[in-house]
Amino acid sequence: MRCAYCNKEAEIYVENLGSWVCEEHFERYFLKRVDRVLRRVRRGSSLLFGISGGKDSIAAIHSTDLLKEKYGFRIGAVMIDTGSDECLRVFNELKDMLGFEGEVLSLRDWGIEIPRDPKLACFVCGVVNRYLLNRYAVERGYDYVATGHNLDDMAYFGLNNLIKHSLDYLLYQYDSVTEPVPELRMAGKVKPLFWLSDSDSLSYVKLKGLPRCSTKCPDGLDKQAIIKPILYEIRKKWPPSLVNFVSSIRELVRMAEHPQRKVNLCERCGYPTSGKICAFCRLKESIGGLR
Ligand SMILES: [Zn+2]
Ligand SMILES: [Zn+2]
């Protein structure tokens, strides 16, 4: 099989293109899409990566690191310790390789324990991750939190929020870059892999020989496990469908009227929430009952 762009042997299948490409053209394809996101971030910004150790967060920080000089970015990273020694090793290996400032955050220091019940674990993990990444970024003077969310996640979030009729997420967070709001103690968000899929991240970490660990969530009943395979079925027939689906939602969101978003500062911790007390503080207060 020949590469779709040159005469070389093709090694990698790119699902969103529906074509086989050589290693060199794969890297070009990948970095071009990361660059499409990064060029929207203010020059000279500092980015804090939340690293799980899975293929996506690894591919996101490695590719951003390759492009950081161009935009004068400062890069740092944190891993939230969920008790996997394998993931901690991956984090430290990556830190030595790329030389970023990095820290492992222990949940115990925050008075949080991930409950054993897998359904609760997923919920707690989500709340804790979002909160700690934002808070750490704001306290340490980072402008943005960067995550490994990719195109497949965005397609899933898009469809899931549409079928739940939950428009808030789509209106305020459905983008590759959202700007920081310092007066609300909200870091901006960057998703370097916004235009790249699961299979692309996997090909990238393999191509670059990067370390990674398994971060499979224990909850097999996760809605993603139902929705993503349906999206993949559609893409098998029409390769550009997921890219188009995500672009369409994003364009519609941009055209829509955006009512003033209600954000308060939490009465306990002073970080943003839509209510009076944020999800993290409520969780901490009820954690005894969750175990
Ligand atoms: Zn090629
Ligand atoms: Zn709070």
pLDDT along the chain (291 residues), means of 10: 96 97 98 98 98 96 98 97 90 96 89 77 85 97 98 96 91 94 96 98 98 75 84 97 98 89 92 94 74 46
**Structural domains counted in the chain:** 1
Q: Tell me: is residue 122 an annotated ligand-binding position.
A: no
CA distance 137 to 132: 8
Rg from Cα positions in the chain: 19
Flag whether 15 is in a domain.
no
Helix (H) or strand (E) holding 50: strand 46-50
Flag whether 232 is in a domain.
yes
| Ligand in nearest proximity to the CA of 127 | 2
Q: Residue 84 has what pLDDT?
A: 85
| Ligand in nearest proximity to the CA of 131 | 2
- Partner residues linked to 9 by β-bridges: 2
Q: Residue 289 has what pLDDT?
A: 44
Flag whether 284 is in a domain.
no
| Domain coverage including residue 82 | 32-261
Q: How many CB atoms lie within 10 A of CB 229?
A: 10
Q: Residue 221 has what pLDDT?
A: 54
Q: Tell me: is residue 269 an annotated ligand-binding position.
A: yes
Q: Residue 109 has what pLDDT?
A: 83
Flag whether 1 is in a domain.
no
Flag whether 250 is in a domain.
yes
Nearest to 149 by CA among 188, 172, 176, 122: 176
Which tokens is 207 given?
Answer: 């191509």
Q: Tell me: is residue 281 an annotated ligand-binding position.
A: yes
Flag whether 273 is in a domain.
no
Flag whether 185 is in a domain.
yes
Give the domain CATH number at 238.
3.40.50.620
Q: Residue 160 has what pLDDT?
A: 94
